[in-house]
Structure 1
């Protein structure tokens, strides 16, 4: 019979899986306490949270929640980065921190939108613009189209007004 603390840990992991959009798996072997604190702080600012759990308990929780199988990633001392909604911000923080820590932090992969992702895919996600940047780009495009339409509509009416004025001047002369 499993011990109560293990049952509680699996329940906690399951609730994190349900309440978050995904999870990244990272190897933190060799990370100092100060580096880990700094990484946790940066991840919190990006809307993510890093936790360390036993790999077997994570494996059980993923299976219980019918998530993709990550068995090949779940080897050695690992930390799990749960992100609430946007996978890009957390991936950027992890990628920059891995670069800064000179290979001490290694991204193994994870789950995003219910699909297993590899380390290369997490790197690709980190290269994408964030949701806020994309919304800004879309707003800029819409604003540009609206401005162009306004200029065209204004040009038609001013051209018509000039034509009417020229005709009236010709008739007056």
Structure 2
């Protein structure tokens, strides 16, 4: 009888540690699961900060607007309306500050306050981007720009609008080209008129007195 009991105990013990069978030691604890999720979030945040850093590095100007009551379809429509090298992203303030730390954009920490914002990263077409944003805000009945950052300075909504009214790069090139083109024409006209004026002066100098 004792032998049978010992044999049964041995079988039960072996079954408890057999591969593929459930074991209390193999079930992750609640703390372990929490740590796994926390680790995943940390990696995701690092990826976000890296992406924002790249967006800042390729931007000439950035500005924000309130995220309140903006839907995903509305954000998608804004993104579609922006010029090719501009983009809109919903970023938590602390992640934006982390990405901007130690760069020329670090001053954005004074603008990234309050609720989280929708930030627009502007490439080469500042005027076109602000124009597209204002048209979107008017159509969707949303607030205008909350704050903008350009060359280490923070601008309010009026400042962002004023920046949007400045000539674009292409417009400046056209104006400069027009000025350069006009100079030779004006010089040629002036040179052409010199002999005529000289001839008149000589004629008057040697004309007999009336």
Structure 2: any 5+ residue segments left out of the alignment? Answer: 1-38, 204-210
Structure 1: any 5+ residue segments left out of the alignment? Answer: 167-173
Q: How does 1:57-68 map to 2 (within 5 A)?
A: 57-65=95-103, 67-68=106-107
Bigger Rg, which one = 2
* Higher relative strand content: 1
Instruction: Please state whether the residue corresponding to 2:91 is helix, strand or coil.
Output: coil
Does the 8 A contact of 2:108 with 2:149 survive in 1?
no
Residues 161 and 123 of structure 1: is their aligned pair in 2 closer, same or farther, counting only changes over 3 Å? closer
The offset of 1:114, in angstroms, is 2.8
Does the 8 A contact of 1:95 with 1:126 survive in 2?
no
- 1:3 paired residue number: 42
Note the aligned Cα RMSD (angstroms). 2.7
Does the 8 A contact of 1:87 with 1:112 survive in 2?
no
- Give the TM-score normalised by structure 2: 0.65
Q: 2:184 aligns with which of 146, 153, 173?
A: 146
Number of equivalenced pairs = 161
Determine whether 1:134 maps to 2:177. Answer: no
Residues 74 and 99 of structure 1: is their aligned pair in 2 closer, same or farther, counting only changes over 3 Å? same
Q: Highest relative contact order (Cα 8 Å, sep 6+), 1 or 2?
A: 1
Instruction: Please state whether the residue corresponding to 1:81 is helix, strand or coil.
Output: strand
Instruction: Please state whether the residue corresponding to 2:82 is helix, strand or coil.
Output: helix
